[in-house]
Structure 1
């Protein structure tokens, strides 16, 4: 396995690149905007293809690299389903799995630092975001933080993992790079409390100043979505209402770009062809399934996904491949459902 821990000294942020092999797919956790050039260089050096970029929560101390990485690599952006970010390609919840070639991250909802805080478990290690730090815990006094929720997340979720589970946090300010669940249980001073009330009192006594970047980072991190209106101006988008009216038309082919797990959880559209987004490039090249279907039938390909991110990128890929008769459903299945469109489970 390829595992790289990278550090941004300005914000004290750790980012993690994971892949199962050289030449394969990669995922990055908690990327920082100012480090995107470095990530892309390392991905090239390691011969990796970034397919997913994940934030553990809406950060207040740095601007995320999700949007910039999406624009440069066409990767899928991922956050928890409680996020206030305008658009991410995939939202995950408790019990879901983030999967790439050879690697799976189990999704754990661990609120408390913020209401959208998640941890991700991968075999012998857990990426804890700001929920559990090395010899510390994330503050709980803004962004709908809640010390009681954090106590529950730490004591009744994370600390129930095996003692030798490696802990990789999103931040460290002392120079530590990794810990274990057992170490934190024994030596983390904030965990040496007798009850949830003791923990709440401890967190309330901290009186920490706001992060220096908070007024810049939080608004910026809430607006990371791809600008889908540009495709609408070019006539390459359908509103959810327009798409509903196209349902069943013989000249339109609906193509679902989501993963199998998303289809099982949220349903799909009647008659839609399933062509998961990671393979879109091959599907649209000469000899690819979608290109052949479009050529043979003359049907207009209308892509859709969860929120319109992946489908917008698919339209861009199709245009670059010379397939002009394509469009996407702006806002994805989320917009479709809000407009009252029928869904097949």
Structure 2
């Protein structure tokens, strides 16, 4: 396995790169916009392909690199289902997994710093975002933060992990790089409380100044969605209402780009082929199944995903591969449900 911890000094943010060597698929946790070129250089040097970029929560102290990485690498963006971000490719919930080849992160909902805060458990380590820091915890006084929720996230979830579990936070302001659950339980001053009431009293009286970039970072981080309007202007998009009239026709191949867990959780449009977005390039190649389908005279390729982000990227890739009949359902299955579309 490949593991790298990278540091952005202005906001003291840690970004984590994980990859399995065999296929070269990679995942980034909490990327920072200013470091996107460095991430891409490292991926090139290590001969890796970025498949997913994940944020632990809506950050207030830096602008995320999620949107830029998606636009530059066509990776999938991932955040929690409570996030106020306009569009990400996948929204996860407690108990889900975030997977790439050889790596699966267990998704833990750990609110309190914000209401969309998540941690990700991978084997012997946990990526705690701003929920649990090294000798500290994330503040709880903005973005729907709640010290009592954070107390439960800490004492009811994270501190129940094995003592030797490595703790990798999203920030550190002292130069520390890693800790353990046992070490934090014993040495973290904010965890030496006897009750949720005591913890709330402590957190409610920190009197911290707002993050310097909060007024810039939060609005920018909320607006991360791919500009699907560009795909629509090219004539490559159907509304959910239009798609309802197309589904089931013999001249339309409906293609679900989502992962198995998404289909199981949210349902699917009847009659769809299941071809994961991660396999898109192989499938639009001259020998791929989508190339064969798209070469059939009069056959439309109609992609959909969760919110239209992956399908918009798929349409562009298919068009670039010469598949002029490729289209997508704008807004994905989210829009399909809102339009009253049938689900299997």
Given the two structures, how large is their TM-score scaled by the length of structure 1? Answer: 0.99
Q: Is the 8 A contact 1:31 1:53 kept in 2?
A: yes
2:278 counterpart residue number: 278
* Alpha-carbon separation, structure 2, partners of 1:294 and 1:53: 30
1:166 counterpart residue number: 166
1:113 is paired with a residue of what secondary structure? coil
* Alpha-carbon separation, structure 2, partners of 1:201 and 1:32: 32
2:303 counterpart residue number: 303
**For 1:56-95, what aligned pairs fall within 5 Å after superposition?**
56-95=56-95
Q: Is the 8 A contact 1:16 1:29 kept in 2?
A: yes
Q: Is the 8 A contact 1:270 1:343 kept in 2?
A: yes
Q: Is the 8 A contact 2:293 2:301 kept in 1?
A: no
2:223 counterpart residue number: 223
**For 1:147-296, what aligned pairs fall within 5 Å after superposition?**
147-296=147-296
1:51 counterpart residue number: 51
Superposed CA offset, 1:292-332 (max 9, x none): 12223631001000000000000010111111111100000
Displacement of 1:248 after TM fit?
1.2
Give unpaired runs (5+ residues) of structure 2.
Answer: none
2:313 counterpart residue number: 313
1:164 is paired with a residue of what secondary structure? coil
1:247/1:67 CA distance change after superposition, 3 Å: same
Q: Is the 8 A contact 1:23 1:46 kept in 2?
A: no
2:130 counterpart residue number: 130
2:263 is paired with a residue of what secondary structure? helix
Q: Is the 8 A contact 1:304 1:332 kept in 2?
A: yes
1:96 counterpart residue number: 96
Give unpaired runs (5+ residues) of structure 1.
Answer: none
Superposed CA offset, 1:98-139 (max 9, x none): 010000000000000000000000000000000000000000
* Alpha-carbon separation, structure 2, partners of 1:185 and 1:11: 26
Superposed CA offset, 1:43-80 (max 9, x none): 00001000000000000000000000001110000000
1:162 is paired with a residue of what secondary structure? coil
Q: CA RMSD in A?
A: 0.8
Superposed CA offset, 1:152-184 (max 9, x none): 000000000000000000000000000000000
Displacement of 1:148 after TM fit?
0.3
Q: Which runs of 4+ in 1 moved over 6 A?
A: none
* Alpha-carbon separation, structure 1, partners of 2:232 and 2:290: 22
Displacement of 1:22 after TM fit?
6.0
Q: Is the 8 A contact 1:22 1:47 kept in 2?
A: no
1:296 is paired with a residue of what secondary structure? coil
Displacement of 1:222 after TM fit?
0.2
